[in-house]
Amino acid sequence: MSTPNVFWFLPTHGDSRYLGTTKGARTVDADYLRQIAVAADTLGYDGVLLPTGRSCEDPWISAASLIGATKKLKFLVAIRPGLSTPGLAVRQAATFDRLSNGRLLINVVTGGDQGELEADGLFADHAKRYEISDEFIRIWRASMAGEGGAAGFIFEGKHLQVKGARTLYPPIQKPHPPLYFGGSSEPAHELAAEQMDVYLTWGEPPAAVAEKLADIRARAAKRGRTLKFGIRLHVIVRETNEAAWRAAEELISHLDDEVIAKAQAAFAKMDSVGQQRMAALHGGRRDKLEVSPNLWAGVGLVRGGAGTALVGDPETVAARMREYADLGIETFILSGYPHLEESYRFAELVFPLLGKGKESGEQSLTGPFGEMMASDIVPKKVA
Ligand SMILES: Cc1cc2nc3c(=O)[nH]c(=O)nc-3n(C[C@H](O)[C@H](O)[C@H](O)COP(=O)(O)O)c2cc1C
């Protein structure tokens, strides 16, 4: 596998050591987000994903607060078409791209919970939301690219209209910051094929991912387009397989069945096909969670969205990543609980196997690398 892009995740809706309880819970605030972002940046992760939704801190403001604390890290910021006007969304993105020196990536999120969207002021069913997304992204791309020249861009859609749209301060990335997008329904695949740069899937078993990617590729080919692909997974990696599986069990060791049933009932109300596919992997049961080799659905018992984790020792996890890479996945968006410690653990244990990270097992000649002994004896090199 050529070296993949590896992203981490900023848990703006909270972080914990044990799912579904306050045990081991920690406060996610400006200091903690900064710690994770700085860790991801210095460890050599390529970027971080910030989610959107009413359970999350606002992704734009969270990401903007971290520009100055990081150097190379990219920010994959989720936006919901329909919640703001296209013009405001364009300006926010262009400014962020400029102020971060070209470190913005956009995750287009159509949304899958009608109740939550109505609470935010957007009244549209699944089909209408995708129509809005399609028009919104057309306007967004055209305005970013400066279409319409000095007179500005004009668009008359079924749901959205703009007249004289101009981006006076254009983004650094041309023609615009790349558009990432995830969605598993038919209109989602159409929208991806038509307008997106990178298609993201949650961590379904490889055969299911292969089918999705084939479908997107075929729809894109009809339009003379190609896309890149990424996957969103949790990771539970330990030095041995036994320890990794033990850690998976520990993660849900304080979770009771009532909490699982409540979460599953809430997910069942959503109209997101992607969410339905995640829930179907485990069916709310905790006794059949390894849904494909080393792919564990325990996180999805209570967490919406990305609900599966790769579990195993470093070689096993890297091998499973390779299987996805062979299908065409180039970007892995990972996370683990708690997010700070696990960012270190994954980088230490798995980056060298992926050809990533600064140190990759090499001894630093310019500063401490491991703890010095007896004032001048360097640590023994162990693979
Ligand atoms: C990697 C990834 C990240 C996502 N992030 C969010 C998010 O932050 N907020 C959200 O509401 N939905 C998120 N989603 C959900 C999708 O954007 C989409 O709205 C949902 O799956 C409904 O579309 P569907 O019915 O076509 O599957 C994400 C999906 C993927 C694959």
Ligand 1 centroid–CA 129 distance in Å is 12
Q: Do residues 170 and 144 make contact, with C-beta atoms less than 8 angstroms apart? A: yes
Other C-beta atoms closer than 10 Å to the C-beta of 229 total: 21
User: Given a cut of 80, is residue 365 above it in pLDDT?
Assistant: no
Report which DSSP code applies to 19: T
Report pLDDT digits (tens) over 171-195: 999 999 999 999 999 999 999 999 9
Q: Which atom of ligand 1 is nearest to the CA of 187?
A: 26
Q: How many helices (H) and strands (E) does the chain have?
A: 12, 13
Check pocket membership of 81 for ligand 1, CB cut-off 6 A.
no
Determine the pLDDT at residue 359: 53
Token digits for 217? 């590729």
d(CA 58, CA 51): 8
Label residue 367 by pLDDT band (50, 70, 90). confident
User: What are phi and psi for residue 155, nearest 5 degrees?
Assistant: -140, 130
Q: Quote the Cα angle for 51-55-59, to 5°.
A: 35
Ligand 1 centroid–CA 267 distance in Å is 13
User: Given a cut of 90, is residue 368 above it in pLDDT?
Assistant: no
User: Given a cut of 70, is residue 363 above it in pLDDT?
Assistant: no
User: What are phi and psi for residue 287, nearest 5 degrees?
Assistant: -100, -5
Ligand 1 centroid–CA 188 distance in Å is 10
Q: Which of 52, 109, 278 should be mutated for ligand 1, with most atoms under 8 A from CB?
A: 109
User: Given a cut of 60, is residue 108 above it in pLDDT?
Assistant: yes
User: Given a cut of 80, is residue 170 above it in pLDDT?
Assistant: yes
Nearest CA to ligand 1 atom 5: 51
Report pLDDT digits (tens) over 237-277: 999 999 999 999 999 999 999 999 999 999 999 999 999 99
Check pocket membership of 200 for ligand 1, CB cut-off 6 A.
yes
Alpha helices in 44-110 (DSSP H): 59-64, 86-99
Report pLDDT digits (tens) over 198-247: 999 999 999 999 999 999 999 999 999 999 999 999 999 999 999 999 99
Check pocket membership of 182 for ligand 1, CB cut-off 6 A.
yes
Report pLDDT digits (tens) over 280-337: 999 988 989 999 999 999 999 999 999 999 999 999 999 999 999 999 999 999 999 9
Mean pLDDT over 144-161 rounds to 96
Q: Which of 272, 277, 332, 334 should be mutated for ligand 1, with most atoms under 8 A from CB?
A: 272
